[in-house]
């Protein structure tokens, strides 16, 4: 079987610095041989003109429309086609794919397409979602636009851009505001498109357990306060449509049949509103933990570790949700008790 092609999704609201970042990213040795798929709204694709890629032919432009709604099938088709379109004498001319979404894209359905389309999932391996957040306008944008909150909520890595500007909000405030939306993502800086590229190179969204990334860092588990004490200025869920993260711990080992029943019920009832979920579970009878990881109702195959990463044997679950009250999830998690 051919190794799957690493795929990265770059998102962030309009003007948040995606293209600036991409232009620098493709200059790094690790990402130099990337194929870039750009999706612009409107008929004239400015981004295409802005890309300063060394090989112009390696930038593929999707037709106008937004990949998250009208042209999801175009994205699938493009991903299937590029492998032979960009091959010479049977060898493909790129080793990674970077997809830049429009600033208005809701990335959840795009992720869904990347994970659910079997032809894509066979060929590509989603390594990570990188979301740019503008340090000057970011918080007001996040408050006003649901899509911007979704972009932050599904991120594996959030890059705060424009910290060089005097109007930039302090990093600590931005981080406090973003944490309730996404306690799992790493948060770092990107200044004029420059970032710590290792953070992107190390992303491993799909199969964290099989990578070198230590499990603790993959499942960075910081119990969340039920109601984070934030000043109104830092609260982002002002307009209904609340995106909220919750975490739970369970002391007792879980019987496997209960886990299966619980997951099926949860996904059937609330699948579309579970933006992300990660859990490390103590299942009865297994020497190491079971790790599960999903986006909406799609779950990567559960992975069993041969041993626990540390002395803590509690099951830990983190959910990033849309309009799900905490009590409902808390009740649901109780189903896992023996
Ligand atoms: N001062 C400063 N300006 C930045 C930084 N990052 C991006 N910019 C500027 O912000 C503007 C928007 O950046 P883009 O990279 O085009 O943003 P985008 O997210 O691709 O924008 P859309 O395509 O509209 O969604 C440009 O004028 C960039 O030069 C930064 O870190 N600092």
In a shared domain, residues 137 and 237: no
The answer to whether the beta carbons of residues 107 and 132 sit under 8 Å apart is no
N-terminal to C-terminal alpha carbon distance within the chain: 41
Ligand 1 within 6 A of 11 CB? no
Q: Tokens 């710590």 label which residue?
A: 196
Please give the helix or strand (H or E) that residue 328 lies within, else none.
helix 326-334
User: Predicted confidence band at 303 (pLDDT cuts at 50, 70, 90)?
Assistant: confident
User: Predicted confidence band at 60 (pLDDT cuts at 50, 70, 90)?
Assistant: low
What pLDDT, on the 0 to 100 scale, is given for residue 105? 78
Would residue 192 be called left, alpha or beta, if left means φ above 0 and alpha means ψ between -120 and 50 degrees?
Answer: left
In a shared domain, residues 197 and 241: no
- Reading the block at residue 212, the tokens are 């070198």
Listed residues 176, 206, 236: the one ending a domain: 206
Whole-angstrom distance, CA of residue 100 vs CA of residue 130: 10
Whole-angstrom distance, CA of residue 45 vs CA of residue 42: 7
Indicate which atom in ligand 1 lies nearest the CA of residue 14: 25
In a shared domain, residues 221 and 306: yes
Which residues partner with 281 through β-bridges? Answer: 290
Indicate which atom in ligand 1 lies nearest the CA of residue 161: 31
Tell me the CATH number at 144. 3.40.50.300
- Interval 246-266 mean pLDDT: 92
* Cα-to-centroid distance, 21 and ligand 1 (Å): 8
In a shared domain, residues 198 and 54: yes
- Helix pair 107-116, 146-153: axis angle to 10 deg: 40
Whole-angstrom distance, CA of residue 218 vs CA of residue 127: 13
User: Predicted confidence band at 281 (pLDDT cuts at 50, 70, 90)?
Assistant: very high
**CA of 172: how far to CAs of 55, 163, 176, 181, 234, in Å?**
39, 12, 6, 15, 11
pLDDT, tens digit (0-9, with 9 covering 90-100), for 83-128: 777 777 777 778 889 988 878 778 887 887 787 788 888 899 888 9
Ligand 1 within 6 A of 191 CB? yes
Q: In 3-state terms, what secondary structure has residue 22?
A: helix
Ligand 1 within 6 A of 17 CB? yes
What is the maximum span of the chain, computed from C-alpha positions, in angstroms? 60
In a shared domain, residues 94 and 19: yes
Q: Is residue 211 part of a domain?
A: no
Q: Is residue 172 part of a domain?
A: yes
Which amino acid residue places its CA nearest to atom 3 of ligand 1? 162
Indicate which atom in ligand 1 lies nearest the CA of residue 15: 21
User: Predicted confidence band at 65 (pLDDT cuts at 50, 70, 90)?
Assistant: very low
In a shared domain, residues 235 and 115: no
In a shared domain, residues 243 and 94: no
pLDDT for residue 297 is more than 50: yes
* Cα-to-centroid distance, 16 and ligand 1 (Å): 5
* Cα-to-centroid distance, 273 and ligand 1 (Å): 31
Mean pLDDT computed over every residue of the chain: 80
Tell me the CATH number at 224. 3.30.1220.10
What pLDDT, on the 0 to 100 scale, is given for residue 40? 55
* Cα-to-centroid distance, 236 and ligand 1 (Å): 22
User: Predicted confidence band at 188 (pLDDT cuts at 50, 70, 90)?
Assistant: very high
Q: Is residue 105 part of a domain?
A: yes
In a shared domain, residues 181 and 65: yes
Q: Is residue 185 part of a domain?
A: yes
What pLDDT, on the 0 to 100 scale, is given for residue 55? 43
In a shared domain, residues 230 and 317: yes
Structural domain count of the chain: 2
- What share of the chain has pLDDT > 70, as a percent? 80
In a shared domain, residues 300 and 159: no
Residues 6+ away with beta carbon under 8 Å from 221: 247, 280, 316, 318
Q: Is residue 26 part of a domain?
A: yes
Listed residues 181, 206, 231: the one ending a domain: 206
User: Predicted confidence band at 63 (pLDDT cuts at 50, 70, 90)?
Assistant: very low
Listed residues 206, 238, 260: the one ending a domain: 206
- Other beta carbons within 10 angstroms of residue 229's beta carbon come to 7
- Interval 271-283 mean pLDDT: 87
In a shared domain, residues 202 and 223: no
Which amino acid residue places its CA nearest to atom 9 of ligand 1? 17
pLDDT for residue 45 is more than 50: no
pLDDT, tens digit (0-9, with 9 covering 90-100), for 154-168: 899 999 999 999 999
Which amino acid residue places its CA nearest to atom 14 of ligand 1? 17
What pLDDT, on the 0 to 100 scale, is given for residue 47? 42
Domain that holds residue 103: 5-206
In a shared domain, residues 52 and 128: yes
The answer to whether the beta carbons of residues 313 and 280 sit under 8 Å apart is no
């Amino acid at each position: 079987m051919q190794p799957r092609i690493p795929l990265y999704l770059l998102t962030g609201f309009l003007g948040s610095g995606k293209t600036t970042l991409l232009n620098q990213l493709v200059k790094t040795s690790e990402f130099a041989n990337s194929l870039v798929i750009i999706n612009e709204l409107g008929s004239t694709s400015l981004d295409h003109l802005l890309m300063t890629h060394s090989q112009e032919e390696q930038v593929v432009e999707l037709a106008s429309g937004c990949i998250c709604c009208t042209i999801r099938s175009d994205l699938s088709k493009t991903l299937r086609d590029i492998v032979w379109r960009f091959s010479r004498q049977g060898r493909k001319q790129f080793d990674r794919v970077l997809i830049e979404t429009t600033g208005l894209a809701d990335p959840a359905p795009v992720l869904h397409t990347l994970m659910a389309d079997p032809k894509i999932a066979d060929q590509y391996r989603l390594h990570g979602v990188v979301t740019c957040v503008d340090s000057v306008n970011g918080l007001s944008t996040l408050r006003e636009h649901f899509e911007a909150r979704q972009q932050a909520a599904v991120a594996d890595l959030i890059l705060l851009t424009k910290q060089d500007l005097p109007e930039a909000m302090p990093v600590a405030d931005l981080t406090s505001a973003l944490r309730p939306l996404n306690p799992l993502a790493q948060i770092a800086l990107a200044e004029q498109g420059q970032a710590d590229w290792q953070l992107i190179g190390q992303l491993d969204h799909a199969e964290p357990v099989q990578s070198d990334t230590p499990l603790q860092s993959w499942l960075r588990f910081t119990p969340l306060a039920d109601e984070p004490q934030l000043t109104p200025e830092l609260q982002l869920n002002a307009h209904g449509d609340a995106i909220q993260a919750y975490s739970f711990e369970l002391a007792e080992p879980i019987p496997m049949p209960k886990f299966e029943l619980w997951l099926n019920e949860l996904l059937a009832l609330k699948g579309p509103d579970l933006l992300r979920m990660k859990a490390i579970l103590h299942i009865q009878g297994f020497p190491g933990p079971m790790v599960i990881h999903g986006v909406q109702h799609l779950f990567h195959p559960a992975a069993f570790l041969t041993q626990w990463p540390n002395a803590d044997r509690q099951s830990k679950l983190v959910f990033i949700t849309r309009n799900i009250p905490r009590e409902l999830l808390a009740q649901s998690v109780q189903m896992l008790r023996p």
